[in-house]
A and B are shown apart, each in its own frame.
Chain A
């Protein structure tokens, strides 16, 4: 592999490069592209929902199809859009922020991506093979266990495979942060994005196994005749709700914490101030993560758990407001007294504060059990979680993309189009979701295919639908922006006067990230060097050979095997001949593991001479 990779290569070569890559920066591109694609699919599903609900008693979608669309909207947005987009950011930036040459396990990084990708494709294959899952993204039993057709089977297998990829990714980032930090990069000098990603990875490690187990139980009930959730045979459906939310609630924090990190970095960069209350921010993040495991039953207040359990979970949930409030006030204090530049990245971050505060405010409201009896499963809750997930996660992803686009692609996104995206999306978002708080309280339950003309819900739903079109417009403008930007001039290494290590290397960085591992002398290491007049990092090592991992096609093949086996699992209930596909796929995956184990792959070295020839 040549370092001077600037010469034009054919499409096939680029494709092969991406399919086999183990470079965290290219895997970030893959995650971004795949997550972006699923985000568009999920967005399309959202538009179908809003068109169906534009007027009362509408028949744009049939009842059964509507349930498929809402199920796939939720599942796609959570598992196939938000998660990979977050992984894209972690991959693109986290190793750079700690001064590492790659993640701890580059091969596993690639494997994690391809498992996610094939899982996502498998899930979406259901659209063309007899219908998508229709039991809601929560897949409550017995609706999910008795749902006819194969829709829910695709849900089970798709999420199982994608979930394995996520778990692998989480473990990889944990080890990367623990083992790969540059000299001097102590834990309490790590940028907040790295900290938050680290903590989110801990959440992945503990939360995803619960989902894995739940999906296995559901799979066995649907495919192999067990009765974990079959009441008539002594099973219990509430167990699914517990298992799902023991995973599902931490998942919410997996989705939001890394973006809290993004906002911390963006605010301090564009306010030109060190993050206010760094230590408090780190511990608040940990506290949120810890409490995140203690509150799952607040999704089940109406299940009938009794007043004692409900009260305990209610108070635990409210407690999360304290560390979250600490973070909001620390961000405001970071901005206070700063010299604030407002560009696209900063607009998204600034818009997050009021939006997320409203989401947090309704969060405390829904935490109040006896009040939640009214909110639960109504549009109030729909409004609440879109305020936190869109207002937090999606705003954060947009902020991060504008902020790190130069680091990821070597180009700066255009400001004019960036602002157009922001304003249309921001206004559209509030038009769509603010009114839904009131729709819920006015008696509109969640997941309703139609409302009736006499229900008094017409105007609110119409406003909501109009807002959704604004959001869709904003997203389209963003895509145009990303495409146009490719022809712009190359971005400098440090376009924002950054503070953290990713800005100390080229945009985009060479595949080995840092020619010499930097020496970190404190929080905001680059800022320290700049304010002391040096302007660049002091190397922690002499220039020497760099050991890099080889590309590999095996992760793709391994995931492909499981993808094929997934169809075997799904269809063997119809015809036992499919067992051959199941076994064939599994055997193929096992074969790739054997190859991986037998083959010595020691990577390669970039020689000192070659490095010296490269410009800084």
Chain B
């Protein structure tokens, strides 16, 4: 008997640890704290299915514990030979039919939610963003707006934003857990999904399909701002002058170095079809450097001088001239000045 009580205690302990931990995780990352339509729809289904299934688990556990208490071999009855029962039609029918009913309870809302989340009929009247997954960064092209960004996806709150997603290399998967479930980003076809954020904030996005050594470093952010702020951001981005001269001596030298080293071959500033590397139009406003490092000059220099140390397997390493620390510092000064808008991750509450 003792062993089994011990086991029960372990199970209870495990359960309570889980409950404590399920303080639900980090806000704006956890799927358990939904801040958008897709995540909310999914969580409703998660809760419904968990409740139905917990009901089944409880029944199984009641029977299980009863069996172990009542029918364990007892002292003095070691040789007892139980009745050999073949089966029982009624019982067997009951435990076939009840699960079917439970599954119907789950299946109907599942199908409804699936069709709802796949409904992209309204796409043409709303904001569309072409999303390209690359090893290991994200490119966002605001359809018809002549705006391209990388890593930070700005969207207005309370509106459906349609994402048309395609990969430039291997399969990736676009996942912003607190806003919406994921969708794969395939090389051969465009997948469309919509996201809608309820409130302003900076939401953490992750790549969810193994895409190479730096798969776990392919973080991005969705920055949801009010529709007015979003309009402001759009006009700020559209009015960027890529040729504007930087302020301060080192930054100007950095700008010159940026051109001399032909960084623009891959990195556009301002609207451009170039997307070999991330678009840097609003680099100074980015929430992170390379998606994972804190946004400061030191980290920008670290990336420029040795991207391999930050993201193993990235496509920048070895494809540009070696830069001295001084040169990297100047380029960083220039890049960090690329702050076209007052609408930034900070203003959205990062």
Q: A-side interface residues toward B, CB under 8 Å? A: 62-64, 66-67, 134-136, 140, 142-143, 146, 231, 236-238, 271-274, 276-280, 302-304, 306-307, 310-311, 314-315, 318-319, 321-322, 325-326, 328-330, 332-333, 335-342, 350-351, 353-354, 357-358, 361-362, 364-365, 368-374, 376-378, 426-427, 430-431, 434-435, 437-438, 441-443, 445-452, 454-457, 459-460, 463, 531
Contact = CB atoms under 8 A, between A and B. Distances in A.
Contacts of B78: 339
8 contacts: A67-B210, A238-B189, A274-B84, A304-B183, A304-B184, A326-B96, A358-B57, A361-B53
Chief secondary structure at chain A's binding surface: helix
B173 interface: yes
Contacts of B180: 373
Contact of B182 (A307, A354, A373, A434): A373
B216 A449 contact: yes
Contacts of B18: 434-435, 437-438
A364 B21 contact: no
B305 interface: no
A374 B99 contact: no
A276 B114 contact: no
Nearest to A451: B216
A445 B30 CA distance: 11
A273 B85 contact: yes
Contacts of B204: 443, 455
B67 A325 contact: no
Interface in B51-82: 52-54, 56-57, 60-61, 63-64, 67-68, 71-73, 77-78, 80-82
A333 B189 CA distance: 51
Contact of A306 (B118, B208, B212, B213): B118
A371 B80 contact: no
Given A276-B85, A430-B10, A336 B67 contact: yes
Contacts of A434: 14, 18
A450 B80 contact: no
A431 B17 CA distance: 10
Nearest to A70: B210
A267 B31 CA distance: 40
A333 B103 contact: no
B160 interface: no
A508 B137 CA distance: 60
Contact of B87 (A276, A340, A353, A460): A276
Nearest to B169: A142
Given A63-B312, A337-B71, A442-B24, A365 B207 contact: no
B100 interface: yes
B49 A337 contact: no
B107 interface: yes
Given A272-B82, A304-B191, A354-B60, A430 B14 contact: yes
Contacts of A304: 183-184, 186, 189, 191
A340 B72 CA distance: 5
Interface stretch (B37-45, B124-132, B231-239, B278-286): B37-45
A463 B73 contact: no
Nearest to A336: B67
A446 B72 contact: no
A457 B25 contact: yes
B83 interface: yes
A373 B95 contact: no
Contacts of B77: 339
B171 interface: yes
A437 B14 CA distance: 12
Contacts of B29: 442-443, 455-456
A354 B14 CA distance: 14
Contacts of A351: 7
Nearest to A456: B26
B117 A271 contact: no
Contact of B71 (A62, A338, A369): A338
Contact of A368 (B82, B110, B206): B110
Given A438-B21, A447-B210, 9 more contacts: A271-B71, A303-B186, A361-B53, A370-B45, A370-B113, A371-B42, A377-B173, A441-B31, A447-B215
Contacts of A134: 213
Contacts of A378: 208
Given A143-B171, A336-B71, A63 B313 contact: yes
A452 B26 CA distance: 12
B183 A460 contact: no
B187 A142 contact: yes
B82 A370 contact: no
B106 interface: yes
B49 A368 contact: yes
Which of B41, B53, B61: most chain A Cβ within 10 A? B53
B87 A314 contact: no
A46 to B, nearest CB: 17
Contacts of B178: 443
Contacts of B103: 318-319, 321-322, 364
Contacts of A326: 92, 95-96
Interface string B175-215: 10110111110111101000000000000101111111111
Which of A67, A280, A328: most chain B Cβ within 10 A? A67
A277 B92 contact: yes
Nearest to A135: B210
Nearest to A300: B184
Contact of B211 (A143, A318, A337): A143
